Amino acid sequence: MLGICKDEGREIGRTTPQAKLEGGLYIVATAIGNAGDITLRAIETLNRVDVVACEDTRVTGRFLKRHGIDAAFVAYHEHNAARARPKLLSRLGRGEAVALVSDAGTPLISDPGYRLVGACIEAGIGVTFVPGPSAALAALVLSGLPTDRFYFGGFLPTRQAARVRALKPLAALAASLIFFESPRRLPAALGDLADILGDRPAAVARELTKKFEEVRRASLSQLCAHYRDEGPPKGEVVIVVAPPAKTGAATVTAIEGAELDQRLGAALAEASLRDAVAAVTEATGLPRGKVYQRALALTGKAGAGGGGA
């Protein structure tokens, strides 16, 4: 194995200068907001490589300084990658140890690095990964939506026509869907998601691991209405959307309880009991009888013989 192996039987995570690592490419995940989210192995790796390739030397410089890491930097970002890659490859070819980090989270996940990894593999240069946070998985695990199967869609296209084209093939996918989005485009993106995928349960995860972390869970149309009313949120966001309703009980579980009451309350405020039950049944995929019983309980009609809805 390239790099640091825990089983070497010595202390890991020391930040004092240590021997340089064996040559090769070390892909190192860093925090997505909370600077404490970095592994001991990442710290040790960054301390012991010859150079750290990063998107923005100021961002990474600040982060490494907080951890007492004094590394040499070189810029590797989407605008200079074609020029910077051959230089990195020649350093790697000379036997240097190069770490690749991004501004936040896991490199290569909507961040540069994929071509560099491919070029290293082709050239027979060792590549290893020092794993850590990614906003995509953090949002999925906090969404309350099914995690057994998921599809990561990266950033949605910025223009509406292209966004709609990109979403159509995903409508029948039996998996939770994860998208990165800019806060400014969030209301429009949620609107298109609701139109193309149907009004499914969803979550918007904002500022994960940071002071103002928030996960808002509701249907796509409710989320869209919220952000249209309130305006785009501050900070960084990830959208997670439930699979189509018929894909299994996990979806049902995710929207039971308080959330079912919340959906029914909103629907009952605008529609008759019959229409509210129909709308919530359609949106959630829950059994109609269950939604109906809950609606009766909420409206105080339970036991009043209202079985005709």
Binding residues for ligand SAM (CB under 6 A): 32-33, 102, 104-106, 109-111, 134-135, 180-181, 205-210, 236-238
Minimum Å distance from CB 152 to ligand SAM?
10
Interhelix angle 186-197/220-230, nearest 10 degrees: 160
Nearest distance, CB of residue 106 and ligand SAM, angstroms: 4
Q: One-letter amino acid identity for 119?
A: A
CB of 106 or CB of 219, closer to ligand SAM: 106
206/263 with CB nearer ligand SAM: 206
Minimal distance, residue 197 CB to ligand SAM, in Å: 19
Biggest CA pair distance of the chain? 82
Shortest approach of ligand SAM to residue 279 CB, angstroms?
30
Q: How far is the CB of 203 from ligand SAM (least distance, A)?
A: 11
Residue nearest to ligand SAM (CB): 105
Instruction: With beta carbons less than 8 A apart as the criterion, state whether 295 and 277 touch.
Output: yes
Q: What's the min distance (Å) between Cβ of 291 and ligand SAM?
A: 32
| Nearest residue (CB) to ligand SAM, 44 versus 236 | 236
Closer by beta carbon to ligand SAM, 44 or else 181: 181
> Smallest gap, in angstroms, from Cβ of residue 213 to ligand SAM?
8
| Comparison of 177 and 286: residue with beta carbon closer to ligand SAM | 177
Residue closer to ligand SAM by CB (options 107, 191) is: 107
When the beta carbons of 142 and 250 are compared against ligand SAM, the nearer one is 142
SS (H, E, C) the chain: CCCCCHHHCCCCCCCCCCCCCCCEEEEECCCCCCCCCCCHHHHHHHHHCCEEEECCHHHHHHHHHHCCCCCCEEECCCCCHHHHHHHHHHHHHCCCEEEECCCCCCCCCCCCCHHHHHHHHHHCCCEEEECCCCHHHHHHHHHCCCCCCEEEEEECCCCHHHHHHHHHHHCCCCCEEEEEECHHHHHHHHHHHHHHHCCCEEEEEECCCCCCCEEEEEEHHHHHHHHHHHCCCCCCEEEEECCCHHHCHHHHHHCCCHHHHHHHHHHHHHCCHHHHHHHHHHHHCCCHHHHHHHHHHHHCCCCCCCCCC
